């Protein structure tokens, strides 16, 4: 079995511009990932087969992006015990239909659901990184370091604002 990786599944290639934000986060932390276009509705057998194969090859978590009916994350969660993170995509109704389809899972088939769109794509990758960091002290430290840097940046922005207000 190779090193753990994150599997990113998209229901359509139109999800790619949003999901590239998750690629960037995973790359920043040196986390291996695979990306696949597959559909819970149009290619259910292929989706199931990919999930089972990814499980066997060391997938640590799945990130699933879909709009409209957004059943991809639920279909993946039904086929694995690995964590599944759903990213609702704004394909219609401002993404609310996708959000509700992703978050309303029956008991026993959980999907951790993040925000609609690009912010959700980023947070899905951060959540996947945090899942991996449970057993990876180096990754854990990288995540702590980034949070500390983010805090320093906010403090610096506030200091600049306060100085400007005193002028």
Which residue range is the domain that position 140 belongs to? 136-167
| Whether the Cβ atoms of residue 132 and residue 139 lie closer than 8 Å to each other | yes
165 plus 123 within the same structural domain: no
- Is the separation of the CB atoms in 48 and 39 below 8 Å? no
Using one digit for the tens of pLDDT, what is the confidence trace for 102-130?
999 999 999 999 999 999 999 999 999 99
Same domain assignment for residues 150 and 98: no
Helices 44-57 + 72-79 axis angle, to 10: 50
Q: Same domain, yes or no, for 101 and 37? A: yes
| Residues 88 and 162 occupy one common structural domain | no
Q: What is the pTM of this model?
A: 0.93
Rounded-to-integer distance, Cα 61 and Cα 83, Å: 5
Q: Are residues 102 and 53 in the same domain?
A: yes
pLDDT in tens, 60-119: 999 999 988 889 999 999 999 999 999 999 998 999 999 999 999 999 999 999 999 999
Q: Are residues 110 and 121 in the same domain?
A: yes
The total number of structural domains in the chain stands at: 2
Let me know whether 146 and 64 are in one domain: no
């Amino acid at each position: 079995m190779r090193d753990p990786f994150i599997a990113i599944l998209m229901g359509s290639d139109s999800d790619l511009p949003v999901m590239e934000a998750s690629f960037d986060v995973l790359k920043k932390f040196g986390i291996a990932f695979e990306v696949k276009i597959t559909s819970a509705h149009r290619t259910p057998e292929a989706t199931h087969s990919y999930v089972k194969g990814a499980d066997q090859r060391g997938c640590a978590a799945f990130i699933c992006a879909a709009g409209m009916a957004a059943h991809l994350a639920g279909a993946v969660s039904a086929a694995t015990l690995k964590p599944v993170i759903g990213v609702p995509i704004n394909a219609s109704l401002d993404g609310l239909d996708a959000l509700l389809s992703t978050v309303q899972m029956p008991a026993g088939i959980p999907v951790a659901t993040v925000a609609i769109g690009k912010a959700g794509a980023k947070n899905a990758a951060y959540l996947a990184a945090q899942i991996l960091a449970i057993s990876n002290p180096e990754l854990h430290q990288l995540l702590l370091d980034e949070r500390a840097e983010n805090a320093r940046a906010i403090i610096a922005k506030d200091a600049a604002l306060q100085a400007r207000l005193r002028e």
